């Protein structure tokens, strides 16, 4: 019999009946999480599954338990899913937007390598949990929001007409510049924003993945960077003026 720990995420999704394969999420997770596979990671999934049906749910917790043989797997659900607790799996019963309860959860889990929000799917909840939990993701770790098709459904606080700017998709679409905040002058970006800690934003189908910066990004653009940026702008302006502009610039750099 094949050892579960040598199986791919795709195989494990099949075995445990997780919908992450059908949703297309496994493709991203395999790419990003493979390097962490044997690490002692701490993974928290919001939404354990099974809703209020007794002894139902836990497909994804079992998936992560087997994919990360040295990992601690945590699940959080508004329903009690204690029947799933075992050596490397711990469940918590609370709402994903109960900030006091979330503080108690992270006091137990410690800093997290991966957080996956597969809970209520309400836009407000998705953003609320992110605002509270992203602080607790380790540098280089991931914060994932699944099922962001909620951004297009009124029932989940989304907007099918794409006019609202408060949906989860719009929130991160508007913050794309934070990925490049090291290249932007202080007057144009708020470096104290939570988003300044984002290294990468990946938009997939119904999925948003954030990678937290490996180290804190600078809180001010230094004069050296500012000067380099200005020179680069001057160079761009000159080199694009004429075909020979590039050589003009090299031969006669601005003093």
Q: Does 13 bind ligand SAM (CB under 6 A)?
A: no
Q: Does 125 bind ligand SAM (CB under 6 A)?
A: yes
Dist CA 13 CA 122 (whole Å)? 25
Dist CA 246 CA 236 (whole Å)? 9
Q: Which residues of 152-176 are buried (b: 16+ CB within 10 A; e: fewer)?
A: bbeebbbbeeeebeebbbbbbeebe
Helix (H, G, I), strand (E, B), or coil: what is residue 3? coil
Query: What are the tokens at 150?
Result: 């909620």
Specify whether 132 is catalytic: no
Dist CA 125 CA 86 (whole Å)? 28
Q: How many binding residues for ligand SAM (CB under 6 A)?
A: 21
Q: Does 169 bind ligand SAM (CB under 6 A)?
A: no
Q: Does 141 bind ligand SAM (CB under 6 A)?
A: no
Dist CA 85 CA 69 (whole Å)? 16
Nearer to ligand SAM by Cβ, of 146 and 197: the residue is 146
Q: Does 78 bind ligand SAM (CB under 6 A)?
A: yes
Q: Does 23 bind ligand SAM (CB under 6 A)?
A: no
Question: Could you say which of 42, 48, 89, 137 contacts ligand SAM (CB under 6 A)?
Answer: 48
Piece of the chain touching ligand SAM by CB under 6 A; list 54-62, 168-176, 187-195, 227-235: 54-62
Catalytic residues: 121
**Which residues form the interface with ligand SAM (CB under 6 A)?**
18, 45-51, 57, 59-60, 76-79, 95-96, 118-120, 125
């Amino acid at each position: 019999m094949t050892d579960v720990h040598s199986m791919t995420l795709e195989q494990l999704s099949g075995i445990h009946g997780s919908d992450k394969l059908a949703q297309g999420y496994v493709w991203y997770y395999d790419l990003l999480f493979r390097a962490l596979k044997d690490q002692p990671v701490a993974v928290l999934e919001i939404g354990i599954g099974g809703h209020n049906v007794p002894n139902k749910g836990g497909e994804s917790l079992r998936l992560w338990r087997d994919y990360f043989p040295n990992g601690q797997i945590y699940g959080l659900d508004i329903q009690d899913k204690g029947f799933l607790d075992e050596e490397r799996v711990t469940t918590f019963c609370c709402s994903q937007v109960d900030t006091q309860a979330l503080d108690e959860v992270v006091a137990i889990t410690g800093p997290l390598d991966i957080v996956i929000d597969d809970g209520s799917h309400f836009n407000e909840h998705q953003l609320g949990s992110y605002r509270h939990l992203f602080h607790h993701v380790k540098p280089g770790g991931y914060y994932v929001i699944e099922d962001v098709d909620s951004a297009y459904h009124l029932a989940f606080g989304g907007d099918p007409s794409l006019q609202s700017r408060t949906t989860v998709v719009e929130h991160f679409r508007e913050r794309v510049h934070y990925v490049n905040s090291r290249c932007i002058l202080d007057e144009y970006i708020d470096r104290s924003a939570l988003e300044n800690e984002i290294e990468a934003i990946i938009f997939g189908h119904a999925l948003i993945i954030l990678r937290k910066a490996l180290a804190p990004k600078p809180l001010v653009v230094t004069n050296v960077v500012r000067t380099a940026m200005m020179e680069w702008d001057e160079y761009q302006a000159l080199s694009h003026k004429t075909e020979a502009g590039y050589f003009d610039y090299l031969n006669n750099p601005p003093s």
